[in-house]
Structure 1
Amino acid sequence: MDDALHMRRAFELARQAHGRTWPNPMVGCVLVKDGRIIGEGFHAQAGQVHAELDAITRAVEPVAGATAYVNLEPCCHTAKRTPPCAQRLIAEGVARVVVANVDPHPAVSGGGIALLREAGIEVVTGVLAEEGEELNEVFFHTQRERRPFVHLKLASTLDGRIAMPDGQSRWITGEAAREHAHRLRAAHAAIAVGAGTLRADNPRLTVRLPGYDGPQPQRLVFSRGGKLPADAHVFIDADAARTRVFSGIPLEDALAQLHAEGVANILLEGGAGLAAAFLRAGLVQRVSHYLNPSYLGEGQAALEPYGLADLHRRITLKGVKYTSLGNDLVLTGRI
């Protein structure tokens, strides 16, 4: 029970750096000695000290004999700017290390744990592993699959409609839901839409939040080869250089290309055809569905058919969380 308690605190510390550590994962560390927390730390930003060293530096007494709780396996290699954490824990005389997840990075992947055990340190792994996996789901996915993490965003009425038959769609959801969606944009490296959505809605695909001064995501437009409007916002605004068009290229190849360029995660915003294509290809990892408590009875569906032939093979979400946003509801879960 104490292991789970302190690991959850490590998760809390790690989350403080959300959005600032890429391409590194979010990591927190808690040092406990004689039942007392004597040090806490987290990896605040890529290039800065790792969580273990931060916790050791902040410790109020020597950490020899302490237990280190860290959500990700301590590294065992010297990175460009940071020394190996496993060796530092050994040098400090830590007696026990509790880890949520093994690091999938090929330069670590069990090596840090092996180094600690060879030094006589007790290592416990898998504590709250599922929560740890969700915390760094983008990092784990990109390391294992070598392509960006794709997060599908849908917004519809209760009967699954995103627009009237004539295309009228502003606004299906309320202001609180739309603000929440902009925060979702801010957490992604790129936003993707299909050519049909670009022609129908002329979206800006930017983060528009009061006081927001962070980076704007790349804008990705997927087209089967049809003509795109040259005067669309994404082609003429101040961020036009950050707009990419993928025309006639398989989705898997486009994602592989984006991964090679360092794009970690993509928010897939529409339309119904592109969303169905990504789902059909098994390329979506998470879905956030904004629901407005209303019915249209007719109009454009949130998803085009994607070839489902058996009820038992339907796409199902797990680990679903529900958030109330004014009169709307957003549910999010992993596929």
Structure 2
Amino acid sequence: MINLKLATSLDGRIATARGESRWITGTEARLQVHQLRAAHDAVVIGAGTAVADDPELTVRLEGFEGAQPARVVLDTRQRLAADSRLVRTAQDIPTYLVSSQPLRPDLATAGVRGVQIPGTGRPEMSQVAAALAGQGLRRLFVEGGGEVAASLLRAGLVDRLEWFRAPIVIGGDGHAGVGDLLLDALADAPRMRRVDLRVLGDDVWESYERI
């Protein structure tokens, strides 16, 4: 099961043109994201998000005593820095790097687990999902970025979409929450059915399921 999370402005942007993204949504929305993380086997991000935000991707809820979800970085070129938060905590929380190449030795030494999908370029998302399922990671919470979201939507792999929208407008020069889908016609656009809508402070949280 793949659950895609978007936290965007009203016009679907996840960051300004300069990459500023903290914080688009408010405290209540971010609290819900932590609760969603806790309900999944792994939190998944792309290399761009890992490099730009240096996230920890942990569940930080008062009184939370459950196991932390694994962290997964889709990083074909293995750009993840050895001093990043994900790598520094890899001994304590399972952390995977998905690539078409063998894992960098310094990352392996730090405790990062490599998931190699043979090939010459970026692996297909269906291959990624299958490889992670082979590691016991079947409930995936995908937090970005835009290219990862687009790849999953193009492949028809998104089972559920959690969309948090803040009442701000960033503009067309900002970073899009979903990258290019390469559609030829509206009939080709992914279709979702809204199953829930909640107001969280100034933000709106909409949940969708695949039709």
TM-score by length of 1: 0.54
The residue number in structure 1 matching 2:74 is 222
Among 252, 277, 284, the alignment partner of 2:151 is 277
C-alpha separation in 2, matches of 1:301 and 1:311: 19
* Residue pair 2:194, 2:206 contacting (<8 A) in 1 also: no
Letter of the structure 1 residue corresponding to residue 32 of structure 2:
H
Q: Deviations over 1:267-315 (max 9, x none)?
A: 0001111111111111111100000111112311111102111112211
* Residue pair 2:46, 2:148 contacting (<8 A) in 1 also: yes
* Identical-pair percentage: 41
The residue number in structure 2 matching 1:202 is 54
C-alpha separation in 1, matches of 2:90 and 2:78: 24
Among 119, 122, 136, the alignment partner of 1:262 is 136
The residue number in structure 2 matching 1:169 is 21
C-alpha separation in 1, matches of 2:73 and 2:49: 9
The residue number in structure 1 matching 2:196 is 321
The residue number in structure 2 matching 1:234 is 86
Structure of higher CA gyration radius:
1
- Kindly report the root-mean-square deviation, in angstroms, between the aligned alpha carbons of the 2 structures: 1.4
Q: Return closer, same or farther for 1:304/1:238 CA change in 2, 3 Å cut-off.
A: closer
In structure 2, stretches of 5+ residues that fail to align are: 101-116, 118-122
1:253 is the counterpart of 2:127? yes
The residue number in structure 1 matching 2:110 is none
Letter of the structure 1 residue corresponding to residue 51 of structure 2:
R
C-alpha separation in 2, matches of 1:328 and 1:282: 27
Q: Deviations over 1:135-176 (max 9, x none)?
A: xxxxxxxxxxxxxx1000000010111111111111000000
C-alpha separation in 2, matches of 1:278 and 1:205: 20
The residue number in structure 2 matching 1:300 is 175
Among 266, 286, 295, the alignment partner of 2:160 is 286
C-alpha separation in 2, matches of 1:286 and 1:166: 30
1:181 is the counterpart of 2:33? yes
Aligned runs of 1:1-335 on 2, under 5 Å? 149-237=1-89, 239-240=91-92, 242-248=94-100, 249=117, 250=123, 251-297=125-171, 298-335=173-210
* Residue pair 1:234, 1:240 contacting (<8 A) in 2 also: no
C-alpha separation in 2, matches of 1:240 and 1:281: 33
Question: Would you identify which runs of 4 or more consecutive aligned residues in structure 1 move more than 4 Å?
Answer: 238-241
Q: CA deviation at 1:320?
A: 2.5
* Residue pair 2:6, 2:143 contacting (<8 A) in 1 also: yes
Q: CA deviation at 1:239?
A: 5.0
Q: Return closer, same or farther for 1:330/1:231 CA change in 2, 3 Å cut-off.
A: same
C-alpha separation in 2, matches of 1:300 and 1:284: 21
The residue number in structure 1 matching 2:109 is none
C-alpha separation in 2, matches of 1:215 and 1:239: 14
Aligned residues: 187
